[in-house]
Chains A and B, each alone.
Chain A
Amino acid sequence: MLYLNGSLKHEHFSLKVNFEVARNKTVSILGPNGSGKSTLLKIINGLEKLTSGELKIDTKVMDSGKTFVEPRHRNVGWVPQNQVLFNHLTVKQNVEFSPRSSKEKASELIDLFELTHLQERKAGSCSGGESQRVAIARAIASKPKILLLDEPSTGLDEKSKTIIHRYLKTQREITTLLVTHDPLEAASLSEHLLILENGLITQSGSPNEVKSFPATAYSASLVELNFVTASADGLIATTEKGVELILSEPFKGLVNIVIPPKAIALYREKPAGSPRNVLQAEILEINPIGQNVRVNLEGGINFMAEITQNAFQTLKLRAGDTVWAAFKATELITTME
């Protein structure tokens, strides 16, 4: 079990979080660059100290106003983003490095991460993917209570990615925090997501919840949905820039509106009648995605429409063109902020 409720203040950055990870569960942390993901991991392994609040692992207080347990006594395995291998030691010596490791545990992990043929080689001669497998095996060999993985599969070869994912999907004995940029990786490896933005947790929930009800523009962008904040008064919501959207049910106050890109239809001429939202917008960018085409638009709000190749060809769209975008009020997902 991991419990953290606390804050950290640096000169140009502050972080304030409150969350809990149940024993042997995996939680993914998603967030834009500079949101404090790596710092959060360093609070847990003790390389950063809380300014206020409390960190507990199982029932033991690791960091609070009164107590501070040194990183080496915390039993937290840490795999930082930049692969940090002891290059002058062999693969095997790396995995056996921790005093908490044992020859048996190390050899088991070397097999599990398919490093057996490399074990006598100097770690410095390993490829990027091999290095990351060594780094993860080394952290697990130290028999950690908590495992912290910072972007473990970013930029790796497919084989290494598969080996690492296979381990993370099947392991059930270490409480794991996984920092990632990839929402698919997060959804496939964990039951719970934390969205971290600007040092704050802006959403916490299952992958499904985040996908269905993204709480912020960042969450929405992860699942490729449009996200608008507006001020609602009855059935009309007005964005900061004065764009009016028609809602399907009345709201009062600040609301978050999600517009699914597939719900947006594009027209050359202004479509007539019907109780739906119609915006005039300029095409910024066009990206073909499989059978569909994604069109980035600017019309007071920045949004993306996903239309079929057929519709795209019929309309003969080009970047810079001005088009009309229409979507039904019933397609919007509106929630109070």
Chain B
Amino acid sequence: MVFPMNRLPKTIELVALIAILFLLSPLVGLLQRMPWSGLTDLLGSEVVLDAFFLSLLVSFSATLIVLALGTPIAWFLARARFPFLKLLRAVVLLPMVLPPVVGGTALLFAFGRQGFLGKWLDNWFGVTLPFSTTGSVLAAVFVSMPFFVVAVESAFRSINEDFEQVAETLGASPSKIFLRITMPRILPSIIAGLALSWARALGEFGATITFAGNLPGETQTLPLAVFLALETNPEAALALSLVMIVTSLAILIPFRDQWLPGK
């Protein structure tokens, strides 16, 4: 038998079924209104294609940056011993619970032209982050990093220090220990963290529209394009939504069980 139905209590089955139906209903709503006949034209349109490729560019760039910056943060949170660690962890995880529009506003005050860092970037390097693709990436990094950090920190925590200690007594350097002992052991969690933060980056809307605006071809990613199209061209909004759903599923379906934390 494929489903272990007879081993689950009936009430749990029923509640799970209701929950699944609830999660599926918006999807059904979208598919039922989808303009299937004109879909090819809509999908081939410049707005949709631009938004699609920009979304891939922004979300994957953000995920790479999250990997590079989030791994050391996770390691630090898991291993460092100092009094304000709890506070620091709360600050790192804050973007997870903060309304994205608040995050975007905060980014504007930091990296905007008048922001305390943005002013400096502008004066010294002539770099302007708001309303640019780089700004979109920055916004995506900001909101998606905590998802990665949470997954990887718990992995760093769960590995037994004995392995690293034995490697140390064998004369291995800290970098060799990290690359050959620690990293392979937490790889599943890194992959899980990457998938989660990528998904968050792909769906990012609030911080981006506040900080980076909604410029076609520059900062107009799929979610922003959906938002704009909903006002003017609902059929295009539906087509864009379909693109997002298919892209997300394409990444999440091959996601293997053993990459989930706790496996």
Residue among B167, B181, B185 with the highest chain A CB neighbour number at 10 A: B167
Q: Is the CB–CB distance between A47 and B170 below 8 Å?
A: no
Q: Is the CB–CB distance between A72 and B168 below 8 Å?
A: yes
Interface size counted on chain A using CB atoms at 8 A: 26
How far is B166's CA from A72's CA once the two chains are assembled, in angstroms? 9
A84 is contacted by which of B163, B171, B172, B184 (Cβ under 8 Å)?
B163
The yes or no answer to A138 lying at the interface (CB within 8 A) is yes
Residues of the A chain whose Cβ atoms lie less than 8 Å from the Cβ of B165:
47, 71, 78, 80
The yes or no answer to B41 lying at the interface (CB within 8 A) is no
The yes or no answer to A29 lying at the interface (CB within 8 A) is no
| B169 nearest CB across to chain A (Å) | 4
Interface residues of B in 128-176 (CB under 8 A from A): 160, 162-163, 165-173, 176
Q: A45-B169, A77-B169 are in contact. Are A84 and B185 (CB under 8 A)?
A: no
Q: Which chain B residues have a beta carbon within 8 Å of chain A's beta carbons?
A: 160, 162-163, 165-173, 176, 180-181, 184-185
Q: Is the CB–CB distance between A88 and B184 below 8 Å?
A: yes
| B188 nearest CB across to chain A (Å) | 11
The yes or no answer to A239 lying at the interface (CB within 8 A) is no
Residues of the B chain whose Cβ atoms lie less than 8 Å from the Cβ of A78:
165-166, 169
How far is B172's CA from A100's CA once the two chains are assembled, in angstroms? 9
B167 is contacted by which of A75, A76, A82, A97 (Cβ under 8 Å)?
A97
The yes or no answer to A56 lying at the interface (CB within 8 A) is no
| B173 nearest CB across to chain A (Å) | 7
List of 5 A-B pairs having minimum Cβ-Cβ separation, nearest first:
A98-B170, A78-B169, A84-B162, A71-B168, A88-B184
Q: Is the CB–CB distance between A139 and B184 below 8 Å?
A: no
Residues of the B chain whose Cβ atoms lie less than 8 Å from the Cβ of A80:
162, 165-166
Q: Is the CB–CB distance between A71 and B169 below 8 Å?
A: yes
Q: Is the CB–CB distance between B181 and A72 below 8 Å?
A: no
How far is B177's CA from A99's CA once the two chains are assembled, in angstroms? 11
The yes or no answer to A86 lying at the interface (CB within 8 A) is yes
The yes or no answer to A165 lying at the interface (CB within 8 A) is no
How far is B184's CA from A98's CA once the two chains are assembled, in angstroms? 17
Residues of the A chain whose Cβ atoms lie less than 8 Å from the Cβ of B169:
45-47, 71-72, 74, 76-78, 139, 142
Residue among B163, B169, B180 with the highest chain A CB neighbour number at 10 A: B169
Residues of the B chain whose Cβ atoms lie less than 8 Å from the Cβ of A97:
167, 170, 172, 180
Chain B residue, CB-CB nearest to A77? B169
Q: Is the CB–CB distance between B171 and A72 below 8 Å?
A: yes
Chain A residue, CB-CB nearest to B162? A84
A142 is contacted by which of B160, B162, B170 (Cβ under 8 Å)?
B170
Q: Which chain A residues have a beta carbon within 8 Å of chain B's beta carbons?
A: 45-47, 70-78, 80, 82, 84, 86, 88-89, 97-101, 138-139, 142
Q: Is the CB–CB distance between A72 and B173 below 8 Å?
A: yes
A82 is contacted by which of B162, B172, B184, B185 (Cβ under 8 Å)?
B162
Chain A residue, CB-CB nearest to B166? A84
Residues of the B chain whose Cβ atoms lie less than 8 Å from the Cβ of A71:
165, 168-169
Q: Is the CB–CB distance between A142 and B166 below 8 Å?
A: no
Residues of the A chain whose Cβ atoms lie less than 8 Å from the Cβ of B160:
84
Chain B residue, CB-CB nearest to A101? B170
Chain A residue, CB-CB nearest to B185? A88
| A96 nearest CB across to chain B (Å) | 10
Residues of the A chain whose Cβ atoms lie less than 8 Å from the Cβ of B184:
88
Chain A residue, CB-CB nearest to B174? A72
Residues of the B chain whose Cβ atoms lie less than 8 Å from the Cβ of A86:
163, 167, 180-181
Chain A residue, CB-CB nearest to B187? A88
Q: Is the CB–CB distance between B162 and A75 below 8 Å?
A: no
How far is B170's CA from A75's CA once the two chains are assembled, in angstroms? 7
| A39 nearest CB across to chain B (Å) | 13
Residue among A82, A97, A98 with the highest chain B CB neighbour number at 10 A: A97
How far is B162's CA from A142's CA once the two chains are assembled, in angstroms? 17
Q: Is the CB–CB distance between B170 and A139 below 8 Å?
A: yes
23 contacts between A and B (CB under 8 A): A47-B169, A71-B169, A72-B168, A72-B172, A73-B171, A78-B166, A80-B166, A84-B160, A84-B162, A86-B181, A88-B184, A88-B185, A97-B172, A97-B180, A98-B170, A99-B171, A99-B172, A99-B176, A100-B171, A101-B170, A138-B170, A139-B170, A142-B170
How far is B165's CA from A84's CA once the two chains are assembled, in angstroms? 10
Residues of the B chain whose Cβ atoms lie less than 8 Å from the Cβ of A45:
169
Residues of the A chain whose Cβ atoms lie less than 8 Å from the Cβ of B185:
88
Chain B residue, CB-CB nearest to A73? B171
How far is B166's CA from A218's CA once the two chains are assembled, in angstroms? 31
Residues of the A chain whose Cβ atoms lie less than 8 Å from the Cβ of B168:
47, 70-72
How far is B173's CA from A138's CA once the two chains are assembled, in angstroms? 16
Residues of the A chain whose Cβ atoms lie less than 8 Å from the Cβ of B162:
80, 82, 84
How far is B162's CA from A98's CA once the two chains are assembled, in angstroms? 16
Residues of the B chain whose Cβ atoms lie less than 8 Å from the Cβ of A70:
168
B171 is contacted by which of A47, A82, A89, A142 (Cβ under 8 Å)?
A142
Residues of the B chain whose Cβ atoms lie less than 8 Å from the Cβ of A88:
184-185
| B79 nearest CB across to chain A (Å) | 15
Beyond A72-B171, A80-B166, A84-B163, 10 extra complex contacts between A and B, CB < 8 Å? A71-B165, A72-B168, A77-B170, A84-B160, A84-B162, A86-B181, A89-B180, A97-B172, A98-B172, A100-B170
